[in-house]
Amino acid sequence: MISSEFVRTFTQIAKTPDPDLAIVALLIARLEYPKLDASPYLDQLNEMGKVAHERVAEFSDPTKPQESIKAINTYLFDEQGFAGNERDYDDPRNSFLNEVLTRRTGIPITLALVYLEVARRAGVSLQGVNFPGHFLLRFQSPTVTGGLGGELIVDPFHRGAILSETDCQNLLRKQVGQSATFDKRLLVGATKSQILIRMLVNLKRIYVNMRSFQQGRTVTDLLLALNPSAMTELRDRGLLAYHLNDFSAALRDLESYLRFTSRGAKSTPSEEHAEIWEHVKTLRRRVASLN
């Protein structure tokens, strides 16, 4: 269980306009490593950013925006050895920034986070992209004439590969299905909160698949702190509490879920609502028997 003070601290940092993602990502890592000291990892990112800045200054041509990306790619993937963890994709360590920095491997969103933080420290501004099933980055740089140069889509999981629109279309079909239709709006920049929510949703999925229900419930607490109106998270927290035999908490969340999601709904309840209602009836009997 995490303290209410931890949740408050996490939420305050997560909702600041400061673009720094590393500090709050290392707070997430404390769910698994409660005594984690963030300082060495922030120092590591600062040093990497300093070296990347030198590489960008040395090898980049300001008239060719892609040169900055190539310089960072060479540093991160060739010199530092970062790589996507395809063999053990669902290893929870891939979701914790301290482990990603130590082991030099991770999933798309955590490698993207390392890339973002190093690039920002190197003076290169990128945005996260909440692409379906595979987190990406977007880079756009002023041209010599002062306009906007070509938008570059970068895939940190595959060594910083620069993706064409066709590549993005193919990636979407791979992640979602062959019938998926690509839309450029899928490449809009993600906010800080959206990035953190995606990190937490990934981590919750891994914990639930591992049947680590207490950890999954804790992650859901953070998701609801970031977005109290996320009804699916309220439902999931109730179901996780049910798995943990915390019947009072499960009843509270599932009743709230039904109450909020039934407003304005059709008179015929959905199959999901009917299933949750059966859980609620069972929980009411169990809670009553404990009193």
Question: Going from the N-terminus, what domains does the chain have, and what CATH number goes with each?
Answer: 4-187 (3.10.620), 229-290 (no CATH)
Identify the CA nearest to 49 among candidates 85, 22, 84, 89.
22
Backbone torsion region of residue 79, taken as left when φ is above 0, otherwise alpha when ψ lies between -120 and 50, otherwise beta: alpha
pLDDT score of 72 = 96
Backbone angles phi, psi at 129, to 5 degrees: -125, 120
Contacts of 193 (CB under 8 A, 6+ apart): 14, 15, 226, 227
Contact status, residue 149 vs residue 82, Cβ threshold 8 Å? no
pTM given for the model: 0.91
Cβ contacts of 233-240, under 8 Å, gap ≥ 24: 234/260, 235/276, 236/204, 238/279, 239/279, 240/208, 240/213, 240/216
Which 3 state secondary structure label does DSSP give 212? coil
For residue 115, which amino acid is it?
Answer: Y
How many whole angstroms separate alpha carbon 268 and alpha carbon 261? 13
Backbone angles phi, psi at 163, to 5 degrees: -100, 135
Helix/strand/coil percent split, the chain, to 5: 60, 10, 30
How many whole angstroms separate alpha carbon 214 and alpha carbon 3? 14
pLDDT in tens, the chain (291 residues): 789 999 999 999 999 999 999 999 999 999 999 999 999 999 999 999 999 999 999 887 776 778 999 999 999 999 999 999 999 999 999 999 999 999 999 999 999 999 999 999 999 999 999 999 999 999 976 553 333 346 899 999 999 999 999 999 999 999 999 888 899 899 999 999 999 999 999 999 999 999 999 999 999 999 999 999 999 999 999 999 999 999 999 999 999 999 999 876 555 568 889 999 999 999 999 998 886
Positive or negative CA dihedral for 219, 225, 126, 134?
A: positive
Token representation of residue 144: 């010599």
Backbone angles phi, psi at 74, to 5 degrees: -60, -45
The whole-angstrom distance between residue 25's C-alpha and the CA centroid of its chain comes to: 9
Which 3 state secondary structure label does DSSP give 60? coil
pLDDT score of 269 = 62
Q: What does R_g of the chain's alpha carbons equal in angstroms?
A: 22
Contact status, residue 153 vs residue 130, Cβ threshold 8 Å? no
